[in-house]
C-alpha cells in the first residue's frame, strides 16, 4: 500500500543526510536516497566521510554511488520504506536519481557512462 509523506517531512529528512555521524553510528540500517543501497554501517568496510572537520558532525558518503545522501534509521525516518525512499529521491534529485530511473546498483569504481 502506498503511503504519502508531506513535503515538510521530506525536507526534514534531507537535513538528516548531512552532519549525521551520530545517527549513522547509532543505526544498523542506512539507505542511500540516490541509488537505493541499504547497508549496516558497522559491517560496511571503508566508510567514506565528508565534512570531517565540521563541528556539526561528519557526513557519510554512499559506499555504492559516492553521493552524500545517506540516512540512518536512528534519524527516526522510515529509511526502509520504499515509498518514502522513492518520494525523497524524486524530491531531491528532480526525478533523475538511480532509484527513480530504475538503474541497478553499481559500485562507483565502475565508471559512469556519459549519456548524450
Ligand atoms: Zn548510493
Residue 26 counted as domain residue: yes
> Which protein residues have a CB closer than 5 Å to ligand 1 (ion)?
32, 34-35, 37, 62, 64-65
Residue 90 counted as domain residue: yes
pLDDT digits (tens, 9 = 90+) for 15-49: 999 999 999 999 999 999 999 999 999 999 889 99
Instruction: Give distance in angstroms: CA of 3 to centre of ligand 1.
Output: 23
Residue 84 counted as domain residue: yes
**Could you list the residue range(s) of the whole structural domain that residue 68 is in?**
7-97
Domain count, the chain: 1
Residue 112 counted as domain residue: no
pTM for this prediction: 0.84
Residue 74 counted as domain residue: yes
Instruction: Give distance in angstroms: CA of 43 to centre of ligand 1.
Output: 16
Q: Which residues, other chains included, contact 83 with Cβ-Cβ below 8 Å and sequence gap of 6+?
A: 2, 3, 4, 5
Instruction: Give distance in angstroms: CA of 22 to centre of ligand 1.
Output: 19
pLDDT digits (tens, 9 = 90+) for 41-77: 999 988 999 999 999 999 999 999 999 999 999 999 9
Instruction: Give distance in angstroms: CA of 84 to centre of ligand 1.
Output: 16
Residue 56 counted as domain residue: yes
Amino acid at each position: 500500500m502506498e503511503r504519502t509523506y508531506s513535503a515538510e517531512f521530506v525536507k526534514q529528512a534531507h537535513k538528516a543526510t548531512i552532519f549525521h555521524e551520530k545517527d549513522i553510528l547509532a543505526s544498523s540500517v542506512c539507505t542511500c536516497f540516490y541509488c537505493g543501497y541499504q547497508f549496516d554501517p558497522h559491517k560496511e568496510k571503508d566508510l567514506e566521510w565528508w565534512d570531517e572537520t565540521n563541528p556539526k558532525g561528519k557526513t557519510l558518503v554512499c559506499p555504492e554511488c559516492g553521493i552524500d545522501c545517506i540516512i540512518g534509521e536512528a534519524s527516526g525516518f522510515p529509511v526502509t520504506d520504499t515509498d518514502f525512499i522513492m518520494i525523497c529521491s524524486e524530491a531531491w534529485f528532480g526525478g533523475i536519481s538511480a532509484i527513480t530511473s530504475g538503474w541497478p546498483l553499481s559500485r562507483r569504481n565502475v565508471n559512469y557512462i556519459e549519456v548524450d
